[in-house]
Amino acid sequence: MSIHSDPDASESQLYSDLPAPLHLPPSELLEHYEPNVLAPLVRCSKLPFRHLTSLYETHITHTPMMLAEEFSRAQIARVSDFSTSSEERGVYWMTPSSGSSSKGNGKGKEAVRVNHPDDDCSSHSADELITYYRPPSNTKDRLPPSPTAPNRDSVLVRGNLIAQFASPNAKSLADAAELISPYVDGIDLNCGCPQRWAYNEGIGCALLRKPELVRDMVRGVRQRMGWGWSVSIKIRIDPDQKQTETLIRNALSAGISYLSIHGRTRHQPSTDPVNLEGIKFAVETVKGEVPCTGNGDIWSYEDVVTMREKTGVKGVMAARGLLANPALFCNYPSTPSHAVSQFISLSTSYGLIFPFSTAAIDWLESRGLDWRKDRSTIWDARRGRGVLSTV
């Protein structure tokens, strides 16, 4: 008899009997499970915040945009721009989306990985090119918030971490991809940063009307990393839909794994409403060749549902909405106090700018927030509590 059918089994016993989670490439995670996504956020989507959102049903997280040329040639850029942890990806009960051919049979492809740090800890010296946090020996690996599947079709799936780069050429992007590949599940090419300095450098939104260059950059990474490695692009819509169509067709011909679409043009500020019809046009242009994510004005779980229903995207990406409420994807109407205490605990563990952390801690403690309790790696976001002790 399975322990999961024993009504007297404790939570510890139930957790001990769980199967290993599926490790899926981002495209399969998007295609079959309709994940929630943290957008690349300037200065904000670094390790502590990514880890925080992963506790609240954010299945795919992105680093902030990094400059591929600097990352590939300077160790100081790699150390300052990127850090990761063996614990930052979450593990989730996920149910295949309607129409998906995946029915929890456990046969999903493994994400292609080159010499992942967890595979051989002894091969990495103290002066690694990337800051990689490993948990203490007395902690457990990430587990789902509940030991019991919500329905018979649900399976355990591990989340993904994507590194986003901006690059003006194919070689720098491929070099950066190769360097960061042991630590992430794929890279994303930024084709949408609207800032003037980025445009003048030939990166970000400057690529929106350089479809051949985008094609060459995607191909360059493919040739370096192999066709199993995930390469995506994130675009803004163009006022001229023919330009959007040309860009997407070139990216598809180069072999992108998936497409992310921000529903605003290069010149539109974030105060303008998102153009859901523009996202829908991009999704229709893809014609189902790869899965798509939609981004823009995701402030509540109702917005998540609307984005999927009106545009046809498989994944929903939030930016400012998650900054305002990291528990948004768990359907919290506002930031719960336990999310704040979790962030303080994570940020002090991983390290943030010291004056900011000290000031925040002093202010929160003055308001009675208890953040000093041990943080469990098994975190039930819906009930706002740790399930099991980490020791």
Catalytic residues: 193
Q: Which amino acid is at 370?
A: D
Helix (H, G, I), strand (E, B) or coil at 372: coil
Give 48's contacts (C-beta < 8 A, 6+ positions apart).
343, 346, 347, 349, 350, 352
Cα–Cα distance measured from residue 382 to residue 389, given in angstroms and rounded to the nearest whole number? 18
The pair of three-digit structure tokens given for residue 151, joined into one six-digit string: 């329905």
> What DSSP assignment string belongs to 105-142?
-S-PPPPP-SS-GGG-GGG--TT-SSEEE---TTSPPP
- Tokens 């180069």 appear where? 254
Q: Burial, 30: exposed, middle or buried (Cβ in 10 Å; 0-12, 13-18, 19+)?
A: buried
Helix (H, G, I), strand (E, B) or coil at 66: strand
The pair of three-digit structure tokens given for residue 234, joined into one six-digit string: 């994130």
Kindly report the backbone phi and psi dihedral angles of residue 91, in degrees, each rounded to the nearest multiple of 5, phi listed first: -125, 130
> Under a CB-based contact definition with an 8 Å cutoff, are residues 154 and 85 in contact?
no
| CA 63 from centroid of its chain's CA atoms | 8
Helix (H, G, I), strand (E, B) or coil at 88: coil
Helix (H, G, I), strand (E, B) or coil at 335: coil
Q: Give the helix/strand (H/E) hosting 61.
A: strand 60-62
Helix (H, G, I), strand (E, B) or coil at 305: helix
> What DSSP assignment string belongs to 135-203?
--TTSPPP--S-SS-SSTT-EEEE-EEEEEEE-SSHHHHHHHHHHHGGG-S-EEEEE----HHHHHTT-
Cα–Cα distance measured from residue 248 to residue 261, given in angstroms and rounded to the nearest whole number? 10
Q: Give the helix/strand (H/E) hosting 232.
A: strand 231-236
Of the chain, the end-to-end C-alpha distance in Å amounts to 29
